[in-house]
């Protein structure tokens, strides 16, 4: 028989009820504090708070502001009639998570990290895709609110400048964390990688290999803070190296709705227009870049060095194992979960913008620069 899993907050509820039932804790006596119970069970204060909130609703204990939690007036027989399973379905707090798509290792690890953080603290996760559509995103937010979620983690769609629903959540102080993005003019909590520093890492790596004609490719940068930060970091690194910024070697117009053939055709047109380019930072569609180059007879890395933003799942099985800027996907998810729980517990009213460092992993898609013989 498979043993039924019992969340930690339910175990804490059971422990408290047993202490009262066995008359170890008398009516009107103060029970251990949230911190003491959290240390005893090895959990966060949020988990303890969830257990105590349920017991307050059941009338088992009551709280006095600034003084603590106390046992209510009742007989041991009354306590014996209280089931720790009662109202369980209604008292488990639920967090909503909106993600544009779930189609790669990066997004899967984000989801896994959030689940790791929430499930260990007595929370449930309600997940939905927005399919790269702001209209779908607005609808999903409305549905999540109607479902009674206690907080939302949102990975905004690309190119998003403004969303009335997100602004409304912020103005109403609804617990909210933006993941991988920041929205201009919207003050709220956010978790992302340090994309600016990551781009500088990538350019410095290429420059150390002797490259000075370095291009940049991505989806639309405007309105997507992560892409904007990468582009700005790329340009700042060129400037620091006294390399002239040539915006003809920047293509920031790829779209997630384009087919693979359309993306490859656009990349090939870009490569043909820039025969002087010996290296390239690819913020999106990185495997397509190598495929497009090879189809044109451009060798990677001999003729063109390529740095991926985000790693691939099995780099050693790629035609050319890619040099990649690797993000801490699981930790990004875990931090998003931690921050949304902090807001629900109302530990701090101050907004936090957290940026996690990245790591550049050199592989076989980058090499020392050599004079290119490519022609337009």
Question: Has residue 363 been placed in a domain?
Answer: no
- For 102, residues 6+ apart whose C-beta sits below 8 A from its C-beta are 108, 111, 129
Q: Could you tell me whether strands 94-99 and 124-129 are parallel, antiparallel, or unpaired per DSSP bridges? A: parallel
Express each pLDDT in 188-222 by its tens digit: 899 999 999 999 999 999 999 999 999 999 998 88
Q: What are residue 356's DSSP bridge partners?
A: 193
Express each pLDDT in 271-304 by its tens digit: 999 999 999 999 989 999 999 999 999 999 999 9
201 vs 325: CA distance, rounded Å: 8
131, 165: one domain: yes
Q: What is the CA radius of gyration of the chain?
A: 26
**Domain range holding 147?**
92-193+329-357
The neighbour count for residue 116, using CB atoms within 10 Å, is: 14
* Domain end call among 308, 327, 346: 327
- For 108, residues 6+ apart whose C-beta sits below 8 A from its C-beta are 102
Count the alpha carbons within 13 Å of 132 in the hemisphere toward its beta carbon. Answer: 12
Question: Has residue 173 been placed in a domain?
Answer: yes
* Mean per-residue pLDDT of the chain: 87
Question: Has residue 54 been placed in a domain?
Answer: yes
Q: Could you tell me whether strands 68-71 and 61-64 are parallel, antiparallel, or unpaired per DSSP bridges? A: antiparallel
When divided into structural domains, the chain yields a total of 3
69, 14: one domain: yes
Omega within 30 of 0 (cis) for the link into 108:
no
pLDDT (mean) for 82-104: 71
- In the chain, what percentage of residues exceed pLDDT 70? 90
């Amino acid at each position: 028989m498979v043993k039924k899993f019992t969340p930690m907050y339910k175990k804490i509820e059971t422990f408290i009820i047993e202490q009262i039932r066995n008359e170890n804790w008398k009516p009107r006596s103060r029970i251990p504090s949230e911190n003491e119970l959290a240390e005893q069970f090895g959990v966060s204060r949020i988990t303890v708070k969830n257990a105590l909130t349920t017991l307050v609703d059941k009338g088992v204990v009551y709280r006095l502001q600034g003084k603590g939690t106390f046992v209510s007036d009742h007989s041991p027989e009354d306590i014996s009639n209280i089931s720790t399973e009662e109202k369980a379905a209604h008292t488990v707090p639920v967090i909503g998570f909106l993600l544009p798509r779930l189609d790669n290792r990066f997004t899967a690890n984000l989801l896994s990290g959030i689940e790791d953080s929430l499930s260990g603290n007595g929370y449930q996760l309600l997940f939905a895709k927005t399919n790269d559509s702001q209209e779908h995103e607005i609808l999903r937010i409305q549905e999540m609110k109607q479902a009674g979620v206690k907080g939302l983690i949102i990975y905004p769609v690309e190119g998003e400048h403004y969303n009335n629903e997100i602004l409304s959540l912020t103005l109403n102080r609804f617990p909210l964390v933006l993941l991988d993005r920041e929205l201009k003019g919207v003050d709220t909590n956010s978790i992302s990688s340090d994309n600016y520093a990551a781009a500088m890492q990538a350019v410095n790596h290429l420059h150390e290999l002797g490259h000075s004609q370095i291009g940049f490719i991505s989806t639309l940068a405007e309105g997507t803070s992560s892409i904007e930060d990468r582009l700005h970091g790329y340009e700042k690194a060129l400037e620091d190296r006294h390399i002239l910024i040539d915006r003809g070697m920047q293509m920031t117009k790829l779209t997630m709705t384009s087919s693979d053939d359309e993306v490859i055709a656009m990349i090939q047109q870009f490569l043909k227009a820039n025969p002087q380019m010996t290296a390239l930072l690819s913020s999106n569609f990185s495997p397509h870049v190598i495929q497009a180059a090879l189809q044109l007879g451009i060798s990677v890395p001999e003729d063109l060095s390529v740095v991926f933003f985000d790693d691939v799942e099995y780099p050693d099985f790629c035609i050319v194992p890619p040099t990649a800027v690797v993000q801490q996907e699981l930790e990004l998810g875990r931090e998003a979960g931690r921050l949304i729980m902090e807001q629900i517990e109302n530990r701090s009213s101050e907004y936090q913008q957290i940026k996690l460092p990245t790591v550049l992993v050199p592989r076989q898609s980058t090499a020392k620069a050599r004079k290119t013989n490519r022609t337009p």
